[in-house]
Structure 1
């Protein structure tokens, strides 16, 4: 736990075999990170750019591209889970996430089937299965939670979908004999990359949409107070020089929450970032800000829908690139 008094964690938004064997362990020993997340884009960069996977790939020559990908990813996730297990055993998070095939984002049954397959094959209690929070994904989450599977509900942009996801989780928990751990991954920086230029043109302060939207969803999660359900702030790396690298960590320090970030972002935060608690933010302040956006002609529903669509496409494209390279 990075800030124990408020139960604020930092997870590494990165998985790569050499990293797991070296720097990841150092970051854990220094009490900087206590978890890890992955997605198809992260695995794409690891598998296609690191020589660490060549030996295992030679042994998988008779497999399909997806079978090769799963073998590589599952090996890494098991390794990360085993490294994190001592933290998990002392109730200091210790979770690692793997995402279902992004092409199943709009197929409930295929999502459930693949999630259960990954859960059983990896066979680690500190595993979380990432499921995109689409309509179909929420239905899948309900069933997976009922079966006691730890869930990372991902690609959450829209507060309405956060509510929908929480409804599914609550329904699943009612019918579960287990008490799974669940996080809702609230994406942050993509709002500002999409809207900053428009806001500048309208004379509205930039760099706040992602923060205040995340703060709104955080309040929703906290208010529901479901057992073992926390907010996780994701997409917290900064692109360009408009903000300091640690911006989306420092501005989202909140009790009972997690921030998953790229390694360089985490290092910058540890060295330079402010460690003051920033959330919760009053509902009135958040509502006034978004009312101002609405009055300035910005349709946030359209923004939410476009960002979810773009996020799904990006993960599908990354997944397809891996499949192509592994043919």
Structure 2
């Protein structure tokens, strides 16, 4: 009997853990998840590092913070050193996966500072700095899909750096992300880089769409609106996959792929269910499609392993239904353009708040160590 996570992997979905901490690395937990839960990658973000370093029950950051304090490091230097060390060490744990999958998986993501989300040049500079500091081929540098982030994505890829594009909510922005990816790889080829080594994922957020849309459906208050609750996030993601299939079959992408480029894979992010009325594996079992990544918080990973029913591809045959959901949402009065813009703005702001909380936590620890 295979496990649900084995079934999910066999269906073409790469399982990445949406979490990282020093204790996961030091205790062997991360290696155990690779072995027992079919985890083949890790994503991080400012909120994850804030939770890890701010965890008062975990003393694994005490020693490095004391060392940094003794060196006179300021708060941003300390954060940079600690987070890049965690990502480097995690990348080493995943290196066998990276080698086994020819670079497709075994990836560990680290994000540029959210304070830079609307500054193209500063994003590019920090992405290059992070890539050089981690110094592992299986790293991914996370860049948000803001308007300022789009040219940064192309510029960073053009340097031969692999990129995880994050905070994608709308189909229109996803189309622009694909354009930015293809442009970046084209420039990388012109710059003489081996484009077969450049990998990218496009992180399409799921549960947050339902949270915002369902709030609006409740305000509308009709029975038709109520019947649409819990459907927008999955429909949005399925239409993103439809767009992915279309765009990477077009000549611009086909020519680059023929020259050695890899396909930018869709990644389902924000897959922890926010509404307790919904099944806890909803954003896993309903988004099974070949060549995708599902990055899960540990609670969702364990629920998937325990009781998910993986029945094969649940995406490519559901495009018509997904378009129907969008039509019904529009008819009910939900403005999806506004929804996705609100979510992008909130997403950036939430990461900025987490980043500033992290700075405060680390500053307090440095002061105490001194």
TM over 0.5: yes
Aligned-pair distance for 1:51? 1.5
Q: 1:230 aligns with which of 257, 265, 269?
A: 265
Q: 2:118 aligns with which of 81, 85, 106?
A: 106
Aligned-pair distance for 1:205? 2.5
**Structure 1 residues without counterparts, runs of 5 or longer:** none
Aligned equivalent of 1:76:
86
Aligned equivalent of 1:184:
202
Aligned-pair distance for 1:198? 3.6
Aligned-pair distance for 1:230? 0.3
Aligned equivalent of 1:218:
241
Aligned equivalent of 1:296:
332
Matches within 5 A, 1:135-154: 135-154=147-166
Q: Counterparts of 1:166 and 1:325 in 2: how far apart (Å)? A: 37
Structure 1 residues 174-183 or 310-319, which shifts more? 174-183
Q: 1:54 aligns with which of 62, 68, 75?
A: 62
Aligned-pair distance for 1:135? 1.2
Structure 1 residues 175-184 or 316-325, which shifts more? 175-184
Residue 127 of structure 1 pairs with residue 150 of structure 2: no
Matches within 5 A, 1:4-43: 4-21=9-26, 22-30=28-36, 32-43=38-49
Q: What is the count of residue pairs matched by the alignment?
A: 327
The secondary structure found in structure 1 opposite 2:68 is coil
Aligned-pair distance for 1:197? 4.1
Aligned-pair distance for 1:178? 2.7
The secondary structure found in structure 1 opposite 2:166 is strand
TM-score, normalization by structure 2:
0.85
Q: In the alignment, is the contact (CA less than 8 A) between 1:88 and 1:95 conserved in 2?
A: yes
The secondary structure found in structure 2 opposite 1:130 is strand
Q: Counterparts of 1:272 and 1:283 in 2: how far apart (Å)? A: 26
Residue 257 of structure 1 pairs with residue 285 of structure 2: no
Residue 196 of structure 1 pairs with residue 222 of structure 2: no
Q: In the alignment, is the contact (CA less than 8 A) between 1:99 and 1:131 conserved in 2?
A: yes
- How large is the Cα RMSD of the aligned pairs? 1.5
The secondary structure found in structure 1 opposite 2:140 is strand
**Structure 2 residues without counterparts, runs of 5 or longer:** 254-261, 364-370
Q: Counterparts of 2:274 and 2:316 in 1: how far apart (Å)? A: 25
Aligned equivalent of 1:209:
232
Q: Counterparts of 2:11 and 2:310 in 1: how far apart (Å)? A: 11
Aligned equivalent of 2:366:
none
Q: In the alignment, is the contact (CA less than 8 A) between 2:114 and 2:352 conserved in 1?
A: yes
Structure 1 residues 60-69 or 19-28, which shifts more? 19-28
Q: Counterparts of 1:27 and 1:310 in 2: how far apart (Å)? A: 31
Higher relative contact order (CA 8 A, sep 6+): 2
The secondary structure found in structure 2 opposite 1:30 is helix
